[in-house]
Amino acid sequence: MKQLRVLFVCLGNICRSPTAHGIFERRVAEAGLQDRILIDSAGTGDWHVGRVPDSRASAAALKRGYDLSHLRARQVRPEDFLEFDYLLAMDQQNLWDLQALALPEFAGHLGLFLDFGNSPLKEVPDPYPGGEEGFEAVLDLVEDATSDLLAHLCGQLD
């Protein structure tokens, strides 16, 4: 049975990528595909390794029914390019950083997360320096893009 592995990537792995991880994890479970689509998240930086997601991101997600409390920040590793089929960056800088780290034998999809979805935006803005409204905006963007991502991956599983 074919499996696909998805890694969501932002800068510190405490706001955007764990939000995407948590939302997509639930969408995949609701579709009954948790054994076929495996999900993780990571950051290009190492400042928050081992920490739980930002409390504002967790609170905003929980208001919409997404629990991020089981997630812990980690940094992208070279072996991620061998283990994951999709590495999805939250913004262009993180995509450039991933491209610089990519192993030559990587044959998966490396791109921007918002290439999936209907938003005119191409980058998920970093809510870290702002207020609650930034975290709500991230949730809106991620909910939209995860729906299209799931549909895309289901087509790959057939």
How far apart CA 35 and CA 39 sit, in angstroms, is: 10
Find the catalytic residue in 10, 26, 27, 97. 10
Q: Has 35 been annotated as catalytic?
A: no
- Pairing assessment for the beta strands 4-10 and 86-89 based on DSSP bridges: parallel
The three-state secondary structure class of 18 is helix
Q: Has 80 been annotated as catalytic?
A: no
Q: Has 126 been annotated as catalytic?
A: yes
Structure tokens given for 102 = 């990519």
Show Cβ contacts of residue 102 under 8 Å, excluding neighbours closer than 6 positions: 81, 110
Find the catalytic residue in 16, 26, 27, 74. 16
How far apart CA 90 and CA 150 sit, in angstroms, is: 17
Find the catalytic residue in 80, 85, 97, 126. 126
Instruction: Please give the positions annotated as active site.
Output: 10, 16, 126
